[in-house]
Amino acid sequence: MQITVIGCGRWGSFLAWYLDGLGHTVTLYGRKGSARLEQLKNTRSNGMVTLSGKVGFTTSLTAAAAMGEILVISIGAQSFRALMRELSREKLDGKSVVLCMKGLEAATGKRLTEIFEEYAPGIPVAIWVGPGHVQDFIRGIPNCMVIDSKSMEVKKRLVGAFSSGLIRFYYGDDLLGNEIGAASKNVVGIAAGMLDGLDKTALKGALMSRGTREIARLIKAMGGNEITAYGLAHLGDYEATVFSPYSRNRKFGELFVRGEPYGELAEGVATTGALLKLGEKYGVDLPISKAVDSVVRGGRDPNQVLSDLFLRSIKMEF
């Protein structure tokens, strides 16, 4: 297939590497002036993946959209609306779009497929979510992930095109739940990092139990299937988010409570605010999101906040 990957960061460059390895014709798009794209063009490597000579590059969104029968998007969730304003001007008829990002719009709480459908109604859109880090995949360590969409035809086509011995895909059957679950696991990841930074790592068991239950309640209140929270998009992704040294959100939380700078994107920070908006809208209490927000944006003492969250008075289990 002709596939365009939009976004040349860590995950986007891995997707180009992975899909090229499956035999697809891959073009990688980055904006003009992108240092990441220039590095890949000049050296074919970003220090993690090395792209074959078959992978093409472009800084033209028009060319990127025209060349791909499948468009795979991997950018920061908070930049997605701006991209869609541009992409909606291109000819997208007959194409399928796959969103490989985990986040919610901070200002509105909207899911990324909702934003996509505002700008490109009628164009098939899917999500690719679940556990996995580039560092593990390039070492040949396999994992399982999920593709979900409103269209079963699209899901079958994508699973058939993207599956390999490295990544086994499952069909999702709850687009809303998988999007909420995938985005919210990053907030749990920040909380996990805070526990690591405060030498309270043993409380991760309580964090995982409570985090999954909170998100299950939110998914149900929004009209999804609460069981989805226990699948690969959320609970199944905790291994890669709550424990992995490669998790950006976990590392952010750890360094934040230690007062050390963290220079990379931690998508869970913006997602925290979005989840609190959704919790208020749907009448669901989200104590973990509130705790993370009170520390990161509210300036409260993390030791006190997490002690209050996990070591409070005796009550029925979650």
Catalytic residues: 185
CA distance 169 to 146: 5
Tokens of 32: 């003009």
CA distance 131 to 238: 8
CA distance 241 to 58: 32
**Where does 44-174 have alpha helices with state H?**
61-67, 80-87, 112-119, 134-137, 152-162
DSSP type of residue 192 = H
CA distance 27 to 99: 16
Distance of CA 291 to the CA centre of its chain: 21
Tokens of 263: 């220079």
Length of the chain, please? 318
